[in-house]
Amino acid sequence: MTSSDRGVSGGTLVDAAQKLAHGEIALIQAIATLSNSTVFLEKPATNHAALQVFAVEGDHWVLAFSSLQRVAAARGMCEWISLTGQDLMDNMPPRVNLGIDVQDDHSFFVPAAVIAARALSRGGSSQ
């Protein structure tokens, strides 16, 4: 584990996700840990897209994982990319939600509106 995998309280992304699942921390705290963590994503099938976006029941999602093993478990053998959670959220397409470790009990979801509001509060664009 690298220092980038540790959140504001020193725990890993999985630790924060488990605490969120048990109601021990708020989503905003899990997002703070996500921001400081390295995440892994399936590489888009085309070079035209920066991130792989999935359509599920009318919503659009980017899926990120806390380890390469979790990418493989959820997506099978695939090409992958890694970046910080902060870089991921800074580059999310508009109106796209974020799912973290979706195949695990500790999965959590960051709604597109929360990502946009966070970008505005940081002085960025809501895209």
Q: What is the pLDDT of residues 109-118, one digit of tens each?
A: 999 999 999 8
Within a domain: 117: yes
Within a domain: 20: yes
Q: Which helix (H) or strand (E) holds 82?
A: strand 80-84
The Cα–Cα gap between 93 and 19 comes to: 28
Number of domains into which the chain is organized = 1
| CATH number of the structural domain spanning residue 35 | 3.40.1350.90
Under the banding of pLDDT at 50, 70 and 90, the label for residue 63 is: very high
Supply the pTM of this predicted model.
Answer: 0.84
Within a domain: 78: yes
Structural domain harbouring 114 = 3-121
Within a domain: 127: no
Within a domain: 40: yes
Within a domain: 106: yes
